[in-house]
Amino acid sequence: MGFLDAIFGNKKTYFDVLNENIKRLFHLYGINDPSNEDQFKCTFALTVAGIAMLNDIAEKNVSAKENLLAVMKELVVSGERLISGCNVKIRNIATDKNEVEKILLNLPSEINADENTNLDGRTAFRILFKIRGQILIDEICNKGLFGAVGQATIFVGDMVLGMEKSKTYFMASTTNLMQFLDDIMDIYKKN
């Protein structure tokens, strides 16, 4: 916290932390002019990763679980807010044709959507979170020998860069996610 922040009480929010870390990831990955899809994927991935890492902490610290659930909800709200101005094609955010179909099933039939339909970021976020949010959180928390932070690093990198392309950035990206978690926990402790 800077000197002026201490005097004037300027406090970081979960939104600020999420936004700062998205920018850091784009810089790390060499994405200088992120597209709407890049913004969406990075925001969605970092939100899910943050929730998974907090979930991992909550499982080990039952007394903090209720408060951490509130933080997780705030991360979702912040993620939705960050990408509310984005428009994304369904085919560009879905992992495969099966997921395209699941997204389409969550849209009103009267809009006659297909894989080329643009969705506003908030709608896309909510649908994708409903379809695979919990599955991804469980995978991050329960798979691999790197723990939740390591698995979150792989997930974020693969979602933003594409499968298997994130290996080059593993150490730097892990450091970034640990800083992200530390920033979240700093806000949590101050509230």
Compute the distance between CA of residue 148 and CA of residue 125 in angstroms, rounded to an integer: 22
Please, are residues 115 and 89 in contact by the beta-carbon 8 Å criterion?
A: yes
Compute the distance between CA of residue 99 and CA of residue 101 in angstroms, rounded to an integer: 5
Prediction pTM value: 0.88
Identify the pLDDT of residue 32: 94
Q: Write the CA distances from 99 to 116, 122, 139, 154, 174, integer angstroms.
A: 13, 17, 17, 20, 28
Phi, psi of 119 (to 5 degrees): -115, 150
Cross-strand partners of 118: 89
Compute the distance between CA of residue 111 and CA of residue 107 in angstroms, rounded to an integer: 8
Percent of the chain scoring above 70 in pLDDT: 93
> What ranges do the domains of the chain cover?
14-87+139-190
- Per-residue pLDDT tens for 80-98? 999 988 999 999 999 899 9
Mean pLDDT of successive 10-residue stretches along the chain, which has 191 residues = 54 92 93 93 94 86 80 93 92 91 92 92 93 89 76 85 78 88 89 74
User: Which residue in the block uniquely carries the two structure tokens 């094609």?
Assistant: 89
